[in-house]
Structures are given as structure tokens and as C-alpha cells.
Amino acid sequence: MSIRPISSLEVTKNISLLSSEKKNTKVVNLKLATPEDKPLVVMLSWLMARKKHVYKYADVYLRHGFDVLNISISPWQLLWPTKGSQMVAKDVLKFLEVNSAYPALVLHGFSVGAYLWSEVMVHMAAEQQRYAGVLDRIVGQIWDSAADVTEIPKGLPVAVFPTNAVLQNALKQYVIYHMRTFDKVATVHYIRASQMFQTNLVRAPAQIFISKTDPIGTEESNLRVRETWENMGIQVNWKCWDKSPHVGHFRMHPKEYVAALNSFLDSLDLPQSVQIEEKKKHMAKL
């Protein structure tokens, strides 16, 4: 499936707004000068994600009539959360709060994106009454290869040095040292975020994509999340492949992935604009 042209509006160095049409609007203190009334996907990317790969996922949503808020963090921001990932999380939350014209929000997080969203929820939990409106607008959540804090020493080196085993091992040893040495400014925040992901302030239906062979977003850790969420009353749809790499499920199984994603989106309480876009898509096929 070819990707149509995608317009990108930079909100911050870590946040960009993707759309099928060019945004002729200014961004002042994270607020769009021209409000939008279409649904928004909050896409929390994996480490070192390339634009062309992110755009393949974004294209699926743009065809449904969504805008896509793409968020990324660097390895440095992950290692030093108080000056890095937590600052990005604050910006994400502020964007969602001040751009309330987006009537419905769908989360789609990959790998370390689950951790970043957990940092967003840490801020939400501190002021639940203030951010109740943001939570109420979240109608669905998708988690692809969600990685637990315990897998940071595995995931970070592979993301930074995907083809160099020697440098992977060296960085792995450093990350282990880093987490032991900088407990108060790093590890305690990872643990708190992991607990927040488990308890999950978002009660909207969830779709989980994983594989049995993923060493980073493991089946075991995701099963624990699934069990906890279902016990809390969250509807969880589960798609587990026997074999596919970390954040590589869409690439390995494109038809199954898109079919499961479309089925999940069809089950959500989305605005009429998305339903109209879907009808156009079906008519075009005919």
C-alpha cells in the first residue's frame, strides 16, 4: 500500500502533528491557533524510530480521518528522565489539555512509548480533577511491543546499535551500571512509571500486539498487564504472533496487523467524521 503525502507541523523538538493536509496554523504555547474537530491519535514512537517507518503507521490513521500527534524521545532523555522524558511528558499532556477541540483521542504506543505515556499518567495522577477531561476523551489504546522497565538494558542498546553486537554489549553494561548508580534520578522513576502502566488511569478498550519471540516487549510481561487490566474491567483485545521482531509485527504481518487494527477502531466510539471517511474508503474499493 503506497503512502500518500503527509504534512508535518513541528510542535516541539519531540512532538510533531501529522496530517493529510497542510496545517496553516501557528502553535503558541503548544496550542493550535486554529482548532481541529477531528479525532487525534497520540502515537508514542519507539527509540530511534525513522520517519519513513513512523509514517507507515500514521498513514493508516490518516486514511481513517485522524490527525496524528507523533512523539519521540532520545536515548539521553530516557536515561535522564527528570530532565528528559518527564519534560516531554509534560508537553504531551499540556498539548492534549489546551487543544480540547480534538473530540476523541486514541493512544498508539510502541516499546518505550509505553513508558513515556506512563510518565504522562504520573502527571495526570497528581492532578486528576484537572485532567479528567483529557482522560474522558481517550476512547481507545493500542500497545505494540510494550516494554517493561526491566527490559531497558536489552532494548536501548539494540535501538542505538542495531547491527553492532560489540557496541550493544558495551552499552548494555553501561545501562545496568547507570540504573544501579543513578537510582534516585532514574530508576525510581522507571519503577513508578511501570506501576502506573499496570494500574492504568485509562479505562478505554485496549488492543495489544506482541509476539512470542520478542525479547524486549515480552509475552510474559504483556500477559501480566492484560490480566491486571481485565481484572480492572478494561476490555483487552490480544494479538500474539508466534514469530516476529520487536516493533516489527506490522512489517512481518501487514494484512493481519491492519485488519486487527481496523477491527479495533471500528469497535470504538468515534466521531461521525471517521465513519464518513470509512464509507468513502469502502466506496473507493467498489
Q: Where are the domains of the chain?
A: 7-21+35-148+187-285
Contacts of 76 by beta carbon, 8 Å cutoff, 6+ apart: 84
Is beta strand 67-71 parallel, antiparallel or unpaired with respect to 15-19?
Answer: antiparallel
- Percent of the chain whose predicted confidence (pLDDT) is above 90: 85
- What is the fold, at CATH topology level, of the domain defined by 7-21+35-148+187-285? Rossmann fold (3.40.50)
| CA nearest to 142, candidates 249, 10, 277 | 249
Residue 107 pLDDT: 98
For the segment 172-209, what is each residue's pLDDT rounded down to a tens digit?
999 999 999 999 999 999 999 999 999 999 999 999 99
Average pLDDT, the chain: 92
Give phi and psi for 47, each to the nearest 5.
-60, 140
DSSP characters for 12-49? SSSEEEEESS-----EETTEESS---S-EEEEEPPTT-
Residue 285 pLDDT: 46
In the predicted structure, residue 282 carries a pLDDT above the cut 70: no
What's the rounded Cα separation, in Å, for the pair 41 and 107? 6
Residue 67 pLDDT: 96
The answer to whether the beta carbons of residues 55 and 3 sit under 8 Å apart is yes
For the segment 34-92, what is each residue's pLDDT rounded down to a tens digit?
888 899 999 999 999 999 999 999 999 999 999 999 999 999 999 999 999 999 999 99
The answer to whether the beta carbons of residues 247 and 214 sit under 8 Å apart is no
Residue 176 pLDDT: 94
For the segment 206-226, what is each residue's pLDDT rounded down to a tens digit?
999 999 999 899 999 999 999
Read off the DSSP letter of residue 63.
T
Contacts of 59 by beta carbon, 8 Å cutoff, 6+ apart: 1, 3, 4, 6
CA angle 40, 45, 50 (to 5 degrees): 115
Residue 2 pLDDT: 60
For the segment 147-171, what is each residue's pLDDT rounded down to a tens digit?
988 888 999 999 999 999 999 999 9
* pTM flag (> 0.85): yes
